[in-house]
Structure 1
Amino acid sequence: MNPLAATVAAARPTAEGGHLLDQADLLYCLARAFMPPPEGWSVCDWAQPLQADLDEIGPMLGLDVSGAQAALEAECQRWAAAARLADESADSWLVEYARLFLTPPVVVSLNTGLYLEGAVGGTAAQMMRSCYETAGVAPDEGFHDLPDHVAIQIEFLARLIERGARGDKDGAAMATEFAAEFVHAWAGSLEQACAAAVGRHPAAAVYAALARLLRRALNDPSLQQR
């Protein structure tokens, strides 16, 4: 399920838009990765198509995806070892996801208003909703969460970048502004929150690596300052 529903048809891509389309494809993959996984899937079931996408898209962008791949592989191995022993830690990936992001008290928030202004559903979320409406997209009716959810924002950027690749200068400009105003401001905090949770929840290492990949894919200025 995609968290956004488009209301504007896309034009044909420009000749120079290939790199941007690859970037958009990566962001679509990351948006899906931060959505709840299918019920009953193990981490290996979930990771396999994501790993294949990263293997394909990473080289096209000249982007090192080895950190994310290593985290996915390590978690698959951990799960497989637990499954062989019939260990209780061999839970489905949805259970692991819920432990991190859904079950109160939530360990890591995917509602980024918490990182931006210390509150969920506040001014930042309303500003994001306004951006979506201006661009002609809206949260899918089947997606029941706030406008500041990580997956909504990443997919929104993917849609804008895809429009830019197809010659929409307004879409490209809005993508740059949205990333600067919001995503760059919370992505580092999300990565840190996931990394801090690894001690109690090893699965968090996967999402910390994906957050880092998101930051690198969008050229997060704070990464360049280190």
Structure 2
Amino acid sequence: MKSTTFPDLIPHAEFALCMARATQCHFANITLAEMQGPLIEDLRQLSNVLPTLEAGQIDALEHAFNALTGTQQLLLGYSKLFLAPPAPAPLNLGAYLDGSLMARSVQAMEMLYRKYGLERDSHFRELPDHLSLNLQWLAWVFSEIAESEQHNAHNVTAISDAAAMLRDFSLPALEGIRRKVVAASGDTVTQPWRLLVELIQSQLTNDLNILAPYTAQSIANTSIANTSLAKETLDSDLSMAQVHTFETSDAPKEQLICRSCGSSFESSPVLAEMRKRLQEAGVSADHMSLCSRCQNSDNNAAMKPPGSNIKAWQ
């Protein structure tokens, strides 16, 4: 561990929080005006303390947003790249790390989420390896690290975990997303999303470079299996046609017992498909046995990012 002054990670957390919100555009009813105004304002403010956020990049992003005629075009570009099956560049990190949904890397990410008392909000209808959730986790952990530093204490565990998440999961998958977005993007409605993905990749790369000197031993012990897996997957041309929405799944419905309230309920098509894929991968799906009432309850622990000074969507 170096004895030099540890950098303030609050701006890094705020950037991750901004991007987490932006990348769940389709689910959060975000408008084009919010992207053109508060988001760009936040990025310009953060660029004063995050040198990776270059003025030219932010100008290009603002220009791309301004070229859109309305929120419908914003959502169309998002859907064309990330949602409409077969989506060319889904935002599920496991699709690039494992070549499939809900596989080994997703389990590892969920373990890190839960280590910090976080899990997917029941209102967020995407898988736990979605880029937005990954960014929220990073924002949370960066904030924990910063709080420890304010009390003159290195949170070695959190620093190592953040570096491991970036090194083994976030950045290898983002390279895959970037490649797919670049290949698929070529019109006005997709251009803002390409620029956002590139901005996220650039800043998270810088984040890892900052953390690396403080986790030298952890970095030196990089998991060969994870590195090889990521490289092998990124070097292949994955068929994204397999990544699709679950609403039309023909997976058999099950009669389940809710692990929260104990009531009996029938699984929805989405839950049935997710449980089927987990079971086929040899992974327990018991944690997904929640009835709709408990899924929508505010009593469940959910991944909610830390407070910050960002203007966007307050």
TM bucket (normalised to shorter chain) is: 0.7 to 0.9
Change (3 A) 1:175 1:40: closer
1:101-152 Cα distance to aligned partner (Å, 9 max, x none): 1121213211111111211221111111111112211111111111111111
- Quick one: which of 70, 80, 85 aligns to 1:104? 85
Alignment of 1:27-106 (within 5 A): 27-37=16-26, 38-39=28-29, 41=31, 43-80=32-69, 91-106=72-87
For the pair shown, which has the larger CA radius of gyration, 1 or 2? 2
Q: What is the CA distance between 1:181 and its match in structure 2?
A: 1.2
Q: Which residue is 2:9 aligned to?
A: 20
Q: Which runs of 5+ in 2 are unaligned?
A: 149-154, 210-314
Q: Structure 1 132/114 Cα, relative in aligned 2: closer, same or farther at 3 Å?
A: same
1:113 matched to 2:94: yes
Aligned match for 2:183, one of 164, 179, 196 = 196
SS of the aligned residue for 2:67 comes to helix
CA contact (8 A) 1:17 1:164 kept: no
Q: Counterparts of 1:203 and 1:70 in 2: how far apart (Å)?
A: 17
Matched residue type, 1:178? M
Length-normalised TM-score, structure 2:
0.57
Residues in 2 aligned to 1:212 and 1:73: alpha-carbon distance in whole angstroms = 14
Q: Which residue of 2 aligns with 1:146?
A: 127
1:86 aligned partner: none
- State the Cα distance separating 1:96 from its structure 2 match: 2.8
Question: Which residue number in structure 2 is paired with residue 207 of structure 1?
Answer: 193
The alpha carbon displacement at 1:18 in A equals: 6.6
SS state at 2:205 partner = coil
Q: 2:49 is paired with a residue of what secondary structure? A: helix
Which string of whole-angstrom CA distances, capped at 9 and with x for unpartnered residues, describes residues 4-30 of structure 1? xxxxxxxxxxxx677211111111111
Separation of aligned partners in 2, 1:206 and 1:125: 27
Percent identity, aligned pairs only, is 25
Q: Tell me which amino acid in the other structure corresponds to 1:195.
A: V
What residue in structure 2 maps to residue 186 of structure 1? 173
TM-score by length of 1: 0.77
Distance 1:140 1:68, change over 3 A: farther
- State the distance in 1 between where 2:196 and 2:30 align: 22
- Which has the higher mean CA deviation after the structures are superposed, 118-127 or 64-73? 64-73
Distance 1:68 1:210 in 2: 9
Distance across 2 between alignment mates of 1:92 and 1:140: 27
Look up the equivalent residue of 1:73 and give its one-letter code.
Answer: E
After TM superposition, give the deviation of residue 60 of structure 1 in Å. Answer: 1.1
Secondary structure, counterpart of 2:119 in structure 1: strand
The letter of the residue matching 1:126 is Q
Moved more, 61-70 or 110-119: 61-70
In terms of fraction of residues, the more helix-rich structure is 1
Secondary structure at the counterpart of residue 158 of structure 2: helix
RMSD: 2.4
Q: Is residue 128 of structure 1 aligned with residue 115 of structure 2?
A: no
8 Å Cα contact 1:39-1:94 kept in structure 2: no
Residue in 2 that maps onto 1:176: 163
Number of residue pairs aligned between Structure 1 and Structure 2? 197
- Higher relative CO (Cα under 8 Å, sequence separation at least 6) belongs to 1
In structure 2, the CA distance between the partners of 1:77 and 1:22, relative to structure 1 (3 Å rule), is: closer
Q: What are the ranges of 5 or more consecutive residues in structure 1 without an aligned counterpart? A: 1-15, 84-89
Work out whether residues 17 and 166 of structure 1, in 8 Å CA contact, stay in contact via their aligned partners in 2. no
**What's the secondary structure of 1:121's corresponding residue?**
coil
